[in-house]
Amino acid sequence: MVILIQCKDRVGLVADIAGVVAKLGINIVAMREHVDTVDNRFFVRIVVDGVQEALPVWQELKAILPEGAQIAVNPSTQKKVIVLVTKEYHCLGDILIRNHFKTLGAEVQCVIGNHETLQDVCKRFDVPFHYVSHEAKDKETFEKEVVAVIEKYKTDYLVLAKFMRILSPTFIEKFTHRIINIHHSFLPAFIGASPYKQAYERGVKLIGATSHFVTNDLDEGPIISQQIIPVNHSFTAPDMVKAGKEIETAVLARALQLVFEERVLIWKNKTIIFE
Amino acid sequence: MVILIQCKDRVGLVADIAGVVAKLGINIVAMREHVDTVDNRFFVRIVVDGVQEALPVWQELKAILPEGAQIAVNPSTQKKVIVLVTKEYHCLGDILIRNHFKTLGAEVQCVIGNHETLQDVCKRFDVPFHYVSHEAKDKETFEKEVVAVIEKYKTDYLVLAKFMRILSPTFIEKFTHRIINIHHSFLPAFIGASPYKQAYERGVKLIGATSHFVTNDLDEGPIISQQIIPVNHSFTAPDMVKAGKEIETAVLARALQLVFEERVLIWKNKTIIFE
Amino acid sequence: MVILIQCKDRVGLVADIAGVVAKLGINIVAMREHVDTVDNRFFVRIVVDGVQEALPVWQELKAILPEGAQIAVNPSTQKKVIVLVTKEYHCLGDILIRNHFKTLGAEVQCVIGNHETLQDVCKRFDVPFHYVSHEAKDKETFEKEVVAVIEKYKTDYLVLAKFMRILSPTFIEKFTHRIINIHHSFLPAFIGASPYKQAYERGVKLIGATSHFVTNDLDEGPIISQQIIPVNHSFTAPDMVKAGKEIETAVLARALQLVFEERVLIWKNKTIIFE
Amino acid sequence: MVILIQCKDRVGLVADIAGVVAKLGINIVAMREHVDTVDNRFFVRIVVDGVQEALPVWQELKAILPEGAQIAVNPSTQKKVIVLVTKEYHCLGDILIRNHFKTLGAEVQCVIGNHETLQDVCKRFDVPFHYVSHEAKDKETFEKEVVAVIEKYKTDYLVLAKFMRILSPTFIEKFTHRIINIHHSFLPAFIGASPYKQAYERGVKLIGATSHFVTNDLDEGPIISQQIIPVNHSFTAPDMVKAGKEIETAVLARALQLVFEERVLIWKNKTIIFE
């Protein structure tokens, strides 16, 4: 069982929290605590032994923690996710394979595509695919249709696995801190479109990818994971796109693992990650 | 101030420890706990705010912890180290530069060399150099002379910065868990002599370096840090040696930083590192 | 079109080879040459512009090169491969996805498994799966049955994607330099079985994977690609296995790309790789 | 001996160049060629065996190459460099150590500082230090004084080893493609001042450093080398500065090695690097 807490910091918090857990006779296997001393904010992740009931722990913690504390006590229930895609297969393929073999750490409930391209591969894995075209529609109409599909499910996270439409603030607010994106550059370098073309023109020696939560500002949400791979003068822009796909797939997989294992806390525009 | 504890695990340890700290009115800034569930062993590193007196904390912790607990309460006193070298300059040069500019996190008290080669560079930095030749001496005599030099100082750690003599168990026991070595391979690959020659002959695509505490068995002590760099078919064995020096320097620097910042606990033949 | 040549070195080889290409009016887009000065051996990879006929180039090169020269002139014909598996899905899954979307750089003709576990996933991608059990058979019989399947196809390479049977010299000789394996450790560390258990017990800080051509000696063939990922004290042996799968998948994918793009030459027990 | 050539591409160039070398009875040990097919530009680096006279090779190449070809035929003469610094010691310290032990691949002729901070460490290595303060001077006057120092030497490269003054186009033009800078970020992310503060505020998970040739535009010249290191939520902005210094030192060292070994060609705003 994993316990995640964030709240205002004060002396004695760790003692009080650990005291609650000890009083219930539960053993702590791993614990990581971080204080943002600039913002006086306290973060902790606690892994406890064995199967436990969540509610009593939550109630006891609620009683001793400062007002406004965010407390999550999660027995190892599987997360549920919906994946949004456009045409590129590499991130979705990786997710479908892991999902099929039950190693994703979450269950893919369905895939939504604004093109039909990836319908076939979903079908091969018996994962429902919903085609919602954006063509000849304004953003509001398109997003309403997407939301209508999502609302058929009770989902934990939306994964944008190379979903190439910019979402409106209205959409994003509906799923605060629950949308995970993979961006095809080492943010904040090459914000926006055609990052590999930009990278090619600048003659960089490394390219990267960034997975982040989506907030109102494009490419500006809290970063979960980033990685890079070396490139050189022999790479054309399409070669960089190809190499980039490898790293995009790996970075999104890593970010999803961190989120699904409940290792990620969000504070303002940053993540605290207890790896 | 940093507190390091390891002891037998039991329910309520974190609560009790954090309780002691809270009772003294001290705020915890960062805390990392690990339990080795196989060995039922508890490890914790606690960083607390402000300047604190160590002794009361130590006494209170002693009172509540299981018998045999190892407790270190360290106000930020600087470590003191002696560096042992042979002829290669790269690790020593890096240490001397950092020491000179006070960013090593420790003070180099002196350098001991079994060759005179590196005397000059030590002199340039006003660091005492003791030349103790191993020639025409048995190991026992040589090591006695080295120990005689070391005992002139009250030192915390011995750093083997490319010291090319194998130390006897007698010597090592005198400084249990206080000798840090840099080995020129990605252990356990290429144990023993000429690892780069072995790497060249095997045609590996990566070479590495390993920093570890020295125990009785050659190249077998608890590993602190490892890193690698890519090589390819165009590397001759001497090219690998040259590339290896870069990574040896970096890995030893990293290991020393981890040890000097009190991030390393040793248990059996492994390290627990709270990075 | 890619030209790969290896032969005894002599003065003027590059001039002669480039002369042949120029005489045919073909432009060289990229060229990499390496001489193993210890063995006096010459290696070159030449990429030329446009679509060209292979045979005339081959004949002209044959005429000017030293006796025994190995010359491959490959118009961009797709490679054909057979994948051998046991029970683990991660490498096969990655290969099947790439194969399905035509980005593998080769065509998977069929998959052979000594267990039925992975039959279903192959079926989902319409890739023939041949189940050849090893149970209650001696190695000779088992391998004969495997060879019988392979011989139904005209294949370029056999890919051992976590195939957990040790192949006999007889089998290997049939496919010299055409069998590619992924080994679950950073060779030559942890040769043999249970490398992750060995890594866990040694307390290493990095684990790796190695892709190599298979030769007679177990885990001893020419290395194509290696990579590592960091681990720490919190990793149990099963955690290392899990992390290792990520790197195994990536390393095998990289090795296959290098081989399929004709970037790999083999000489004795090493590879020359023109990345 | 190393030969570097860049010129307009045409069919037969490699044959003609290799022919010249063969005619002189010189053996090619390693050769790498690249054609920028977008710009129809040819680049080659040739390493030949033994000690050779440069002039005849140069003349013969000149005769057969297209007009405007850039040809460098370099017997292994050591490069000469001047290092410009401000107050930070880490890059200079590394350079001085390598210079002292003759492994820099170049000779440091002198160090110029706009502060006196690093005078002492230069003195310790018997390297001349010229203090040229920028205070109470306009940029023109300051740069004239710097140029006056430089002109006392016949130097190949200027190395900006954390030199914190922006140089004018007038200054830069005097040393086209001969000024190497280390920038404290993964360009093009965080261009300009305080990149680590920017990185901290953005909550990135990797920070980097970039070494590049200096051209008129700030932080915009051809990139030679880039690397990154992981950071996390526990890093304050000063922690990032500290971690960044490690990578800055390593990246500048790598870039200098590439340049001094004549592995770098410049074309427009990019480098072609034959590693």
Is pTM beyond 0.80 here?
yes
Bridge-based pairing state of the strands A28-36 and A179-183:
unpaired
Q: pLDDT value at position A227?
A: 94
- Cβ within 8 Å of B, A 89-108: none
Chain C contact for A121, CB < 8 A? yes
Domain containing residue D62: 2-74
* Buried/exposed D48-84: b ≥16 CB within 10 Å, e otherwise: beeebeeeebeebbeeebeeeeebebeeeeebebbbb
Q: How many angstroms separate the CA atoms of A182 and C102, rounded?
A: 23
Chain D residues touching B121 at Cβ < 8 A: 97, 100
* Shared domain check, D85 and D50: no
Chain C contact for B221, CB < 8 A? no
User: Which residue from C52, C28, C46, C121 is spatially nearest to C83, judged by alpha carbons?
Assistant: C121
Chain D contact for C35, CB < 8 A? yes
Write down the residue that tokens 């016949």 correspond to. Answer: D154
Mean pLDDT of A71-85: 90
- Catalytic residue, chosen from D9, D36, D49, D219, is D219
CATH of the domain at B97: 3.40.50.170
* Shared domain check, C269 and C229: yes
* Shared domain check, C63 and C190: no
* Shared domain check, D93 and D49: no
Residue C188, CB-side half-sphere exposure with 13 Å CA sphere? 18
* Shared domain check, D200 and D121: yes
Of B30, B125, B234, the CB nearest to D30: B234
Q: Are D170 and D182 in contact (CB under 8 A)?
A: no
Partners of D81 in beta bridges: D108, D157
Q: How many angstroms separate the CA atoms of B125 and B109, rounded?
A: 12
Mean pLDDT over the full length of chain A? 93
* Shared domain check, B161 and B43: no
* CB–CB contacts below 8 A, B to D: 33
Chain B contact for A19, CB < 8 A? yes
The dihedrals phi and psi of A198, each to the nearest 5 degrees, come to -60, -45
Q: How many angstroms separate the CA atoms of B83 and B96, rounded?
A: 10
Pick the last residue of a domain from B74, B91, B107.
B74
* Shared domain check, B105 and B55: no
* Residue A54 parent element (H or E): helix A54-64
Alpha helices in chain B (DSSP H): 13-23, 54-64, 90-100, 119-124, 139-150, 169-174, 195-202, 237-260
Q: Are A206 and A250 in contact (CB under 8 A)?
A: no
Pick the last residue of a domain from D33, D51, D74.
D74
Q: A31-40, A84-93, C168-177, D210-219: which has the minimum mean pLDDT?
A: D210-219
Q: What is the pLDDT of residues A106-130, one digit of tens each?
A: 999 999 999 999 999 999 999 999 9
* Shared domain check, C228 and C108: yes
Length of chain D: 275
Q: Are A91 and A249 in contact (CB under 8 A)?
A: yes
* Shared domain check, D88 and D58: no
Q: Are D32 and D5 in contact (CB under 8 A)?
A: no
Closest CA–CA distance from residue D181 to any residue of chain C (Å): 28
Label residue A190 by pLDDT band (50, 70, 90). Answer: confident
Alpha helices in C10-84 (DSSP H): 13-23, 54-64
Q: How many angstroms separate the CA atoms of D122 and D128, rounded?
A: 7
Chain D contact for B246, CB < 8 A? yes
* Shared domain check, D38 and D165: no
Chain C residues touching B255 at Cβ < 8 A: none
Mean pLDDT of B171-184: 94
Chain B contact for C215, CB < 8 A? no
Task: List the single residue in B with minimal CA-CA distance to C186.
Answer: B189
* 3-state SS, residue B63: helix
Q: pLDDT value at position D194?
A: 80
pLDDT along chain C (275 residues), means of 10: 94 92 90 91 91 88 95 86 98 98 97 98 98 96 98 97 94 95 83 81 92 84 94 92 94 97 94 94
Length of chain B: 275
* Shared domain check, D113 and D23: no
Q: pLDDT value at position A218?
A: 66
Q: What is the pLDDT of residues D82-131, one digit of tens each?
A: 999 999 999 999 999 999 999 999 999 999 999 999 999 999 999 999 99
Label residue A221 by pLDDT band (50, 70, 90). Answer: very high
Q: A185-199, B6-20, B229-243, D255-269: which has the minimum mean pLDDT?
A: A185-199
Q: What is the pLDDT of residues A159-184, one digit of tens each?
A: 999 999 999 999 999 999 999 999 98
* CB–CB contacts below 8 A, A to C: 32
Statement: residue D218 has pLDDT above 90: no
Task: List the single residue in A with minimal CA-CA distance to B36.
Answer: A29
Write down the residue that tokens 């160090």 correspond to. Answer: D111
Most D CBs within 10 Å, among A206, A215, A272, to test the D interface: A206
* 3-state SS, residue B168: coil
Other chains touching C, judged by 3 or more CB pairs under 8 Å: A, B, D
Task: List the single residue in C with minimal CA-CA distance to D49.
Answer: C37
Q: Are A46 and A3 in contact (CB under 8 A)?
A: yes
DSSP structural state of residue A166: P
Label residue B173 by pLDDT band (50, 70, 90). Answer: very high
Q: Which amino acid is at B217?
A: D
Q: pLDDT value at position C218?
A: 66
User: For chain A, how many structural domains are there in total?
Assistant: 2
CATH of the domain at D65: 3.30.70.260
The token duo for D275 is 């590693």
Is the ipTM, as predicted for this complex, more than 0.85?
yes
Chain D contact for A269, CB < 8 A? yes
Mean pLDDT of A202-214: 93
* Shared domain check, D33 and D10: yes
Q: How many angstroms separate the CA atoms of C107 and C91, rounded?
A: 15
Long-range CB contacts (within 8 A, 24+) of C146-151: C146/C84, C146/C112, C146/C171, C147/C171, C147/C174, C149/C82, C149/C110, C149/C112, C150/C82, C150/C112
Chain D contact for A66, CB < 8 A? no
- Is C219 considered catalytic here? yes
Partners of C72 in beta bridges: C4
Pick the last residue of a domain from A29, A53, A74.
A74
Q: pLDDT value at position B195?
A: 82
Chain B residues touching D100 at Cβ < 8 A: 93, 121
Q: What is the pLDDT of residues D175-199, one digit of tens each?
A: 999 999 999 887 777 777 788 888 8
Q: pLDDT value at position B218?
A: 66
Q: Are D187 and D212 in contact (CB under 8 A)?
A: yes
- Catalytic residue, chosen from B120, B138, B217, B219, is B219
Statement: residue D235 has pLDDT above 90: yes
Chain B residues touching C203 at Cβ < 8 A: 222-223, 269-271
